[in-house]
A and B are shown apart, each in its own frame.
Chain A
Amino acid sequence: MRNYLNIITAYSIMLFLIIIVGIFQSWSIALSILNYCLISAVMTMGANIQWGYAGLINFGIMGYTALGGLAVVLVSVAPVPEAWSAGGANMLISLFLIIALVFSIRLILKKYKNNKYKNYLIALTIILGIILIRIIASHGIEAIEAVNPAKTGFLGGLGMPVLFSWIVGALFAAGLAFVIGKIALGLRADYLAIATLLIAEIVVSIIKHEDWLARGVKNVIGLKRPVPYEINLQTSPWFINLIEKLNQGKLNLVSSFAEKKDLLNQLVIDASSVYVKLCMTGLFLTVVIILLIITQKALYSPWGRKMRAIRDNETAAGAMGKNVVKEHLLIFILGSAIVGLAGAMMVTNDGLFTPGSYRPMRYTFVIWVMVIVGGTGNNFGAILGGFVVWFLWVEAAPIALFLINFFTAHLDETNAIKAHLVESAPYFRFLMIGVGLLVIMRYRPKGLIPEKINIK
């Protein structure tokens, strides 16, 4: 029990902070912060598996998150039949050609292993293939994007339940991780970081600019939800009754019938948003708990020991007959799949897919700060890191505003410096996160909850 004391304390403080937000700002804000904290926690768990278990540095988190989000669109949105009939065939042929291209390259690699013209042959195949694909696809793309461009202009998805897309998101991310892992895993740590970051940029720029796929920067809005809609709740009798019962005391204070009705209406509207967010929280919490159990089990299993051995001394682990390359690839894929899952969860939570918002700052570096701050190699630490850093990220602006007002209280309202500082309050979040990271790295390099391995 004593071992877990600091973990319990840390989490209680975090919960307390969120409750404070609920009391002082609003419960709706508190819950949306909590939801994002949970999503961030899933992302950090993914990154922590790679960095904490195996020492792989992956700055491509942004790319996997975006792919997870793309999966939600491709799975849950209803298909657009006009677009399919207009250009679907062309796109399918192109897809088939891409697969054929990949297999022909593999064939060349296998068959002409020792041929010195091998590389030229591959380059030629790729160039010819791309030209062919572009010619075939361009007609399809034009036709698809011409179909009602204001509303659709893309192929649409499969129209399946949105929860299914979480799994698909994880699979997409795993597929990308397989490719990247094959290319880049042999590189030294900081090269790997740069390479993954740049590949993630490529992925995001493809999602951004291929409008036929998911409308690109035009965004997809109104995605399906696994939880009820506010508007349906507000008209369903059982919900109104529930709210009436819960707020009996408040309602009894009001005497006039019309006022009572107005108040009840207001309460129902507020409560519906809270209820929806609570449902989301439940779903996310389930995911986090399941993942936590699995990752904890893995950490203390023989496999986890093997990963730590590889992390701490690759050469020794290799000498003991462990296949370092294979294990690295495996853990790279697993971690990325979890990040993809988190990306899908995030888009589901928002209800919209905005490819333009995927930027390395928010989706790679902040997540990494979470991992480092929380504690590498410790799942409880990673989750806590997600909570703490996300909380700071959101609440930094209000805190900064409060501090600025506090320290410049003696200055006039029209004072130029004060006005400038108040205006730039949102940017203090970067300062807080940066200073936080530097301080943690200097004085607590193992994070808030350090890795503790006790084998029973």
Chain B
Amino acid sequence: MEFLNALVLLLNYTIIPAVTYGSQLALGAIFVTLIYGVLRFANFATGDMMSFGTMFAVLLTYYFQSIGIGIGILPTALITLPFAIIAMIFYMLFIDKFVFKYYRVSKSAPVQLAMVSVGVMFVTQAIIRIIIGPFDRRFMDGEKFILKASEFKEMTGLNEGLTIKSTQAITVVVTIVLVSILFWFLNKTKTGTSMRAYSDNEDLALLSGIDPKKIVMLTWIIAGCLATIGGVLYGLDKSYKPFVYFNNMLPIFAAAIVGGIGNPFGAFLGGYVIAFAEIFVTYAYKKFFTYLLPEFLEPDSLVQLLSTDYKFAVSFSILVIVLLFRPSGIFEGKKI
């Protein structure tokens, strides 16, 4: 019984939140890694692009709510998602045409493209703040919980409750579906294979008749989907605030690099590595140990490795360690 209690405690406070957060990071990290692999630059506008897509979803959700469209227990944001994605893809293709294309065609150094993406970051951030403002917004509606702590306690008779928020379930399900489709596309279809070929060796890919324009457009379209969905899932689970989205860029970068940048599967796993590390290192294990250990051994302190203030610092330290020992990432990405 004590053991089960400890397990449920751990599940409730670390594993479930970590899986959810990890999925959100993973989508962002795949986005970063795709841009890096195919277009060959570190996109510093990542967080703001996610925020931009989410902004459309938020605004449309408000609109739908005002005219009374909803889908019952599921959040309205899910039906606004396709529209938000389309808007996002248009924005990305627009930016690519007027900003990035010039540098790609003139074969500028990756650093220059990264600096350009900083400019895009500023502009995107400005547009977001001008349209929707810098405030914290919640746009989650529908049923909030799938499993409530009290229900779980009644069901099992344990002391510890287990809560599963519907957003957590939605996040995990959507991520699994999306990532499976993406990997199927990249590995099994002809277009996906040509995309990987372009990413591996541009010249050879061009020689074998792959159309670079098509590849680039496709990358932006996939990136738009990933950015919007990742952003909306994060916003549903927590809340939508432009500044937080900008800051999320940093753990997303960490996830992409830890997983091996340029390698989508690595980025996917990297997201979970970062999320689990952040949550496991900053969780206070006092209660966990009181369940497991005999009474005389019970800890006095919180048994917390680092205070939650250092959540971000944990993921960045992991990044530094990975860069030191395996600069190409845990799952072999591009050579640095």
Q: Are A434 and B126 in contact (CB under 8 A)?
A: yes
Q: Are B246 and A427 in contact (CB under 8 A)?
A: no
Per the bound structure, the CA–CA distance linking A427 and B243 in Å amounts to 13
Q: Are A209 and B126 in contact (CB under 8 A)?
A: no
Which residue on B lies nearest to A396, using beta carbons?
A: B126
Say how far B317's CB is from chain A's closest CB, in angstroms.
7
Q: Are B123 and A435 in contact (CB under 8 A)?
A: yes
Proximity string of chain B (127-139) to chain A, C-beta cutoff 8 Å, 1 when within and 0 when not: 1011001100000
Per the bound structure, the CA–CA distance linking A57 and B42 in Å amounts to 13
Per the bound structure, the CA–CA distance linking A201 and B312 in Å amounts to 8
User: A205-B309, A205-B313, A428-B126 in contact; A198/B320 too (CB < 8 A)?
Assistant: yes
> Is A187 in contact with chain B by the CB < 8 A criterion?
yes
Q: Are B126 and A438 in contact (CB under 8 A)?
A: no
A433 neighbours in B (Cβ, 8 Å): 122
Say how far A427's CB is from chain B's closest CB, in angstroms.
4
8 Å CB contacts to A: which residues of B322-336?
323-325, 327, 336
Per the bound structure, the CA–CA distance linking A187 and B110 in Å amounts to 13
B325 neighbours in A (Cβ, 8 Å): 119
Q: Are A183 and B307 in contact (CB under 8 A)?
A: no
Per the bound structure, the CA–CA distance linking A192 and B324 in Å amounts to 12
8 Å CB contacts to A: which residues of B18-49?
41-42, 44
Q: Are B130 and A427 in contact (CB under 8 A)?
A: yes
Q: Which of A361, A424, A430 touches B123 (beta carbons < 8 Å)?
A: A430
8 Å CB contacts to A: which residues of B111-144?
111-112, 114-116, 118-127, 129-130, 133-134
Per the bound structure, the CA–CA distance linking A435 and B123 in Å amounts to 7
> Is B109 in contact with chain A by the CB < 8 A criterion?
yes
Per the bound structure, the CA–CA distance linking A199 and B312 in Å amounts to 11
Q: Are B111 and A190 in contact (CB under 8 A)?
A: yes
Size class of the A contact interface (CB-based, 8 Å) = 35 or more
Stretch of B159-167, B185-193, B203-211, B250-258 at the chain-chain interface: B250-258
> Is A437 in contact with chain B by the CB < 8 A criterion?
yes
8 Å CB contacts to A: which residues of B213-269?
246, 250, 253-254, 257, 261
Which residue on A lies nearest to B254, using beta carbons?
A: A198
Per the bound structure, the CA–CA distance linking A188 and B301 in Å amounts to 43
Say how far A126's CB is from chain B's closest CB, in angstroms.
10
Q: Are B313 and A195 in contact (CB under 8 A)?
A: no
A209 neighbours in B (Cβ, 8 Å): 307, 309-310
Say how far A328's CB is from chain B's closest CB, in angstroms.
15
Say how far B256's CB is from chain A's closest CB, in angstroms.
9
> Is A191 in contact with chain B by the CB < 8 A criterion?
yes
Q: Which of A187, A206, A423, A431 touches B313 (beta carbons < 8 Å)?
A: A206
Which residue on A lies nearest to B324, using beta carbons?
A: A183
Which residue on A lies nearest to B109, using beta carbons?
A: A189
Per the bound structure, the CA–CA distance linking A423 and B134 in Å amounts to 11
Q: Are A191 and B123 in contact (CB under 8 A)?
A: no
Q: Are A205 and B310 in contact (CB under 8 A)?
A: yes
Which residue on A lies nearest to B128, using beta carbons?
A: A427
Per the bound structure, the CA–CA distance linking A435 and B125 in Å amounts to 12
Q: Are B323 and A365 in contact (CB under 8 A)?
A: no
Per the bound structure, the CA–CA distance linking A187 and B257 in Å amounts to 12
Say how far B283's CB is from chain A's closest CB, in angstroms.
16
Q: Which of A194, A369, A427 touches B129 (beta carbons < 8 Å)?
A: A427
Per the bound structure, the CA–CA distance linking A365 and B121 in Å amounts to 10
A442 neighbours in B (Cβ, 8 Å): 102
Q: Are B122 and A434 in contact (CB under 8 A)?
A: yes
> Is A80 in contact with chain B by the CB < 8 A criterion?
no
The count of A-to-B residue pairs whose CB atoms sit within 8 angstroms is 129
Q: Are B246 and A424 in contact (CB under 8 A)?
A: no
Q: Are B316 and A193 in contact (CB under 8 A)?
A: no
Q: Are B123 and A195 in contact (CB under 8 A)?
A: no
Per the bound structure, the CA–CA distance linking A361 and B320 in Å amounts to 22
Q: Are B129 and A434 in contact (CB under 8 A)?
A: no
User: A189-B109, A189-B111, A197-B250 in contact; A202/B119 too (CB < 8 A)?
Assistant: no
Say how far B309's CB is from chain A's closest CB, in angstroms.
4
Q: Are B126 and A427 in contact (CB under 8 A)?
A: yes
> Is B6 in contact with chain A by the CB < 8 A criterion?
no
User: A183-B320, A430-B122 in contact; A205/B115 too (CB < 8 A)?
Assistant: no
Q: Are B110 and A189 in contact (CB under 8 A)?
A: yes
A183 neighbours in B (Cβ, 8 Å): 320, 323-324
Q: Are B118 and A187 in contact (CB under 8 A)?
A: no
Q: Are A187 and B323 in contact (CB under 8 A)?
A: yes
Q: Are A191 and B336 in contact (CB under 8 A)?
A: yes
B60 neighbours in A (Cβ, 8 Å): none
A215 neighbours in B (Cβ, 8 Å): none
B44 neighbours in A (Cβ, 8 Å): 365
Proximity string of chain A (424-448) to chain B, C-beta cutoff 8 Å, 1 when within and 0 when not: 1001111101110110011001000
Say how far A219's CB is from chain B's closest CB, in angstroms.
16
> Is A73 in contact with chain B by the CB < 8 A criterion?
no
Which residue on B lies nearest to A180, using beta carbons?
A: B320
Say how far B227's CB is from chain A's closest CB, in angstroms.
18
Per the bound structure, the CA–CA distance linking A369 and B121 in Å amounts to 12
Q: Are B42 and A193 in contact (CB under 8 A)?
A: yes
> Is A84 in contact with chain B by the CB < 8 A criterion?
no
Proximity string of chain A (414-426) to chain B, C-beta cutoff 8 Å, 1 when within and 0 when not: 0000000101100
Per the bound structure, the CA–CA distance linking A119 and B324 in Å amounts to 11
Which residue on A lies nearest to B256, using beta carbons?
A: A194
> Is B99 in contact with chain A by the CB < 8 A criterion?
yes
> Can you list 9 A-B contacts (CB < 8 A)?
A189-B114, A193-B42, A194-B253, A361-B246, A365-B44, A427-B126, A427-B129, A431-B126, A438-B120
Q: Which residues of B contact A (CB under 8 A)?
A: 41-42, 44, 99, 102, 109-112, 114-116, 118-127, 129-130, 133-134, 246, 250, 253-254, 257, 261, 301, 307, 309-310, 312-313, 316-317, 319-320, 323-325, 327, 336
List 20 additional A-B contacts (Cβ < 8 Å) besides A190-B41, A437-B115.
A57-B114, A187-B327, A190-B110, A191-B261, A193-B42, A197-B250, A198-B254, A199-B316, A201-B313, A365-B122, A369-B122, A431-B130, A434-B122, A434-B123, A435-B119, A438-B116, A438-B120, A438-B123, A441-B119, A445-B112
Listed from nearest, the 7 A-B pairs whose CB atoms lie closest are: A434-B122, A431-B126, A430-B126, A434-B123, A427-B129, A437-B119, A209-B309
